[in-house]
Amino acid sequence: MKMDYQFPAGFWWGSAASGPQTEGVFEGDGKGASIWDYWYQQEPEKFFNRVGPEKTSQVYTRYQEDIQLMKETGHTTFRTSIQWSRLLPQGKGEVNQKAVDFYNAYIDELIANGIEPFMNLYHFDMPMALQEKGGWLNRETVDAYVAFAQTCFTLFGDRVKKWFTHNEPIVPVEGGYLYQFHYPNEINMKHAVQVGFHETLASAKAIKVYHEMNLGGEIGIILNLTPSYPRDENDPEDVKAAQIADAFFNRSFLDPAVKGTFPEELVTIVKELDMVPAMEADDLQTIRENTIDLLGINYYQPRRIMKKESPIDQAKSPMPDDYFDNYDMPNKKMNPYRGWEIYEKGIYDILTNTRENYGNIKCYISENGMGVEGEERFVNADGVIEDDYRIEFVSDHLKYVHQAIQEGTNCVGYHMWTCMDNWSWTNAYKNRYGFISVDLANDAKRTVKKSGRWFKEVSDNNGF
């Protein structure tokens, strides 16, 4: 059977998830509190239907069943994260042996079933013991993180050969220190800059340690790259506004990760605002010398930008939004449940950018997906969710991934978010993303959706 879209041999097919969004919390598991456990205790009303992080999809006890379902849905690779607060309940110091046993069993089970584990180290889940001392604002957290990373490499690096330092490091910056959707919920640009710097430094230091350990694998970072498109490409002010948005939200982490330097536009703004982060003499050299082997790209939606036309909100200023406005483009294609634009060509533009401006670094699509509310409406007589909209979403994006590869982009895999419906920060289980449904009302029963069966065919054929 001829495939219209054939992918390179050995292409990685799979999905992504995270520890805090899937594992759950169990009596006697020894896990320490993260900022999510704490915030939910403090303000449960901020979480959709008051569903907290302890209620996640119970992978801690059901990973064997889940890995069989991964096989059924064509996974050759799978990314999750090691919860810092599970492995080191205080963020540093004593290792929780029950966590070691769990992650060892989980990793071994994946490998035994022909699924390569990709492990990420930080997915928004700061241990509360460290957050109480400032979290990423505190230089000591960088050292604690590097020790955590080294512990993970030592314990699991004989089998795990794909490591990632952070998932979407811009999100703790935006959510925690600018736009108030993650704990500690501040609006403080100076803090945001310091947090971003410490995350970048922590990543570089962990990369250095990993390379020194000679474990024979690769280490990278996972970034949510959201292309910034100017409202009018012929208006220099719109174009400049889009470049600044791009520097804030994309190149702030992409440039240091791949090139070892920060974007000039961003450095200029930070200096003008007198917000240069506190750093030690050799920090910039550490960042320059310890760049990634592999780039994970999360893509969901584009950013539409125009020059600043609305008044600056003086109560919140300075903010990134002082330099541009978001443009509400008419007639755009939307995912109505998530309120996000669907723009498939964005994935091609990102990949082309990595080829043309970032040395054609080895990369893969580490997340791409569609969250839909009320999927039970699409259940057929056999109890299967017929999510044709998800099949269409994924295949339309894969066509553009294929085109970029044909043109020479070094893209080696595709992971959808997510394997099975999982808990999402403040949205809980409102929007479902999985190839596999999780029925919370029925003992978290798992059922493969139509998209999961389709993905197995894609993976088996290495194309569609």
Residue 396 in tokens: 């339309």
Task: Give the C-alpha separation, 60 to 103, whole Å.
Answer: 9
Q: How confident is the model at residue 232 (pLDDT cuts 50, 70, 90)?
A: very high
Mean pLDDT of 88-115: 98
Statement: residue 8 has pLDDT above 90 = yes
pTM for the full predicted model = 0.98
pLDDT of residue 463: 98
- CA distance to 197, 210, 357, per residue, from 284 (Å): 10, 19, 21
Domain assignment of residue 34, yes or no: yes
Mean pLDDT of 58-66: 97
Distance of CA 346 to the CA centre of its chain: 17
Task: Give the C-alpha separation, 439 to 257, whole Å.
Answer: 39
Domain assignment of residue 136, yes or no: yes
> What is the count of structural domains for the chain?
1
What SS3 class is residue 294? strand
Residue pair 423/22 in contact by the 8 Å Cβ criterion: yes
Task: Give the C-alpha separation, 242 to 434, whole Å.
Answer: 32
Task: Give the C-alpha separation, 106 to 156, whole Å.
Answer: 11
pLDDT of residue 55: 83
Q: Does residue 341 have an active-site annotation?
A: no
Statement: residue 146 has pLDDT above 90 = yes
Q: How confident is the model at residue 347 (pLDDT cuts 50, 70, 90)?
A: very high
pLDDT tens, residue by residue, 322-332: 999 999 999 99
By residue range, what is the domain housing residue 351?
12-461
- The CATH number of the domain where 323 resides is what? 3.20.20.80
Contacts of 79 (CB under 8 A, 6+ apart): 14, 15, 16, 17, 117, 118, 119, 120, 162, 164, 222, 296, 366, 415
Domain assignment of residue 7, yes or no: no
Q: What is the dihedral of CA 233, 238, 243, 248, to 10 degrees?
A: -140
Statement: residue 197 has pLDDT above 80 = yes
Mean pLDDT of 214-238: 98
Judged by average pLDDT, the poorest of 75-79, 274-278, 426-430 is 426-430
Statement: residue 235 has pLDDT above 90 = yes
Statement: residue 3 has pLDDT above 80 = yes
pLDDT of residue 257: 99
- CA distance to 93, 122, 154, 261, 383, per residue, from 258 (Å): 31, 19, 25, 8, 46
What SS3 class is residue 334? strand
pLDDT tens, residue by residue, 363-386: 999 999 999 999 999 999 999 999
Residue 113 in tokens: 């079933």
- DSSP line for 349-388: HHHHHHHHHSTT--EEEEE----EE-GGGGB-TTS-B--H
What SS3 class is residue 415? strand
Contacts of 337 (CB under 8 A, 6+ apart): 371, 372, 373, 374, 431
Statement: residue 1 has pLDDT above 80 = no
Q: How confident is the model at residue 84 (pLDDT cuts 50, 70, 90)?
A: very high
Task: Give the C-alpha separation, 441 to 369, whole Å.
Answer: 24
pLDDT of residue 2: 81
Domain assignment of residue 160, yes or no: yes
Query: Which has the closest alpha carbon to 221: 192, 183, 250, 193?
Result: 250
Residues in the chain: 464
Q: How confident is the model at residue 265 (pLDDT cuts 50, 70, 90)?
A: very high
Residue 312 per-residue DSSP state: P
Mean pLDDT of 94-102: 98
Task: Give the C-alpha separation, 223 to 249, whole Å.
Answer: 10
Task: Give the C-alpha separation, 276 to 311, whole Å.
Answer: 26
Which among 23, 168, 199, 367 is annotated as catalytic? Answer: 367
Domain assignment of residue 378, yes or no: yes
Task: Give the C-alpha separation, 180 to 200, whole Å.
Answer: 21
Domain assignment of residue 5, yes or no: no
Residue pair 24/57 in contact by the 8 Å Cβ criterion: yes
pLDDT of residue 203: 99
Query: Which has the closest alpha carbon to 120: 221, 225, 196?
Result: 221
- How many angstroms separate the most distant Cα atoms in the chain? 65
Q: How confident is the model at residue 90 (pLDDT cuts 50, 70, 90)?
A: very high
Residue 202 in tokens: 């922590």
Task: Give the C-alpha separation, 366 to 349, whole Å.
Answer: 16
- CA distance to 6, 13, 80, 388, 404, per residue, from 459 (Å): 11, 6, 19, 17, 19
Domain assignment of residue 204, yes or no: yes
How many CB atoms within 10 Å of residue 355? 18
- DSSP line for 67-91: HHHHHHTT-SEEEEE--HHHHSTTS
Q: How confident is the model at residue 290 (pLDDT cuts 50, 70, 90)?
A: very high
Mean pLDDT of 166-185: 97
Please report the sign of the dihedral spanned by the C-alpha atoms of residue 62, residue 383, residue 428, residue 74.
positive
Query: Which has the closest alpha carbon to 459: 35, 43, 42, 71?
Result: 71
pLDDT of residue 340: 95
Q: How confident is the model at residue 19 (pLDDT cuts 50, 70, 90)?
A: very high
Strand partners, 341: 334
Looking at the chain, the whole-number percentage of residues with pLDDT higher than 90 is: 97
pLDDT of residue 46: 92
Looking at the chain, the whole-number percentage of residues with pLDDT higher than 70 is: 100
Domain assignment of residue 2, yes or no: no
pLDDT of residue 296: 99
Averaged confidence pLDDT in the chain: 97
What element of type H or E holds 240?
helix 236-246
